[in-house]
Amino acid sequence: MTAVVKQYNNVFFSSSEKETVEIVEPHFINKDCKDVIDQAKVHLMLREFSECLTTCLEGLDKCKRLSHDGICYESFVILAVQAYGEQNKWKEVLPFIDKIYGNISQCPPTVIKLCIGLLSWVKEYDVAQKQACLWLENPQNLEKEHTTVGKLVVEEVLLPQKKYLEISHFVEKMLKLNPEERKQIQNFVSEAKRYEDSKMEKFNNIKTPTKKEEEQNVMLSLIERMKAFFQSLSPYFRHGTGKVLFLGLSLYLVFLHLRVDRRGHGHAVKKLVFQP
């Protein structure tokens, strides 16, 4: 039986392809532990995060006393990390992981991925990268989703910071990739960099209006406001008198603008406020 906690995982993953954390419950799991896991999941789904955390800690203590294998620990730890994150207590996650596993390099792949996601969500990129490197450097983890964890660091930690050069160094140093996997990551990074460069180019090409253009915009805005005011006087505006008055005021503003502009005091026109 596999239960998937979907509803709240997207809090921790900011990319478009969000990681789904699965709580694996094999058939041989102890019934007592399974009942406690189910209880903790209910608390999480009901947003009772403090109760969820308390239940997880009690479940971990029971697992320790009954000498259950790591699958119970993993289930409770996953739920506990999510409960910490939902309460904005992310600083307590790493000490909690160290207490359970000795240090983060000993935790299962699912747990380190969840920690990377949480830390990147709160923009603690340096902390996330450091913890991920500790896990990746452990030789025992080479066969445990080593590449998947490394790719997550690239996508969730390095790319958001636009550290394109560091990505190449990280891939070379930390990941044991075959040529095809290495090429895939390089292509992914190159595409991301091209996308960012194109956005920056578009931003740089945006024309900033000159001071004179800004003044002209202010003048046009004033004329539009006057027109709206005179139209509100309908039916008077339809008569020749109203139209002549509107035209006269418009010409006066244009004349005033040109006069002020010649004197080099263009900012003065901005102080004109038409109040109906």
pLDDT tens-digit profile of 37-52? 899 999 999 999 999 9
Q: Indicate whether 56 pLDDT > 90.
A: yes
- Residue-wise pLDDT tens digits, 182-208: 777 777 777 777 777 676 665 565 656
Task: Give the pLDDT of residue 239.
Answer: 56
Task: Give the pLDDT of residue 16.
Answer: 37
Higher pLDDT, 180 or 196: 180
Which architecture characterizes domain 2-204 according to CATH? Alpha Horseshoe (1.25)
User: Residue type for 58, please?
Assistant: E
Task: Give the pLDDT of residue 71.
Answer: 78
Domain boundaries, the chain: 2-204, 211-271
Higher pLDDT, 272 or 187: 187
The verdict on whether omega for the bond into residue 139 sits within 30 degrees of 0, i.e. cis, is no
- Residue-wise pLDDT tens digits, 115-166: 999 999 999 999 999 999 999 999 988 887 888 899 899 989 998 998 888 8
Polymer length of the chain = 276
How do 2-5 and 21-24 pair as beta strands?
antiparallel
| Residue carrying the six token digits 């009942």 | 35
Q: How many Å apart are CA 153 and CA 257, to the nearest integer?
A: 58
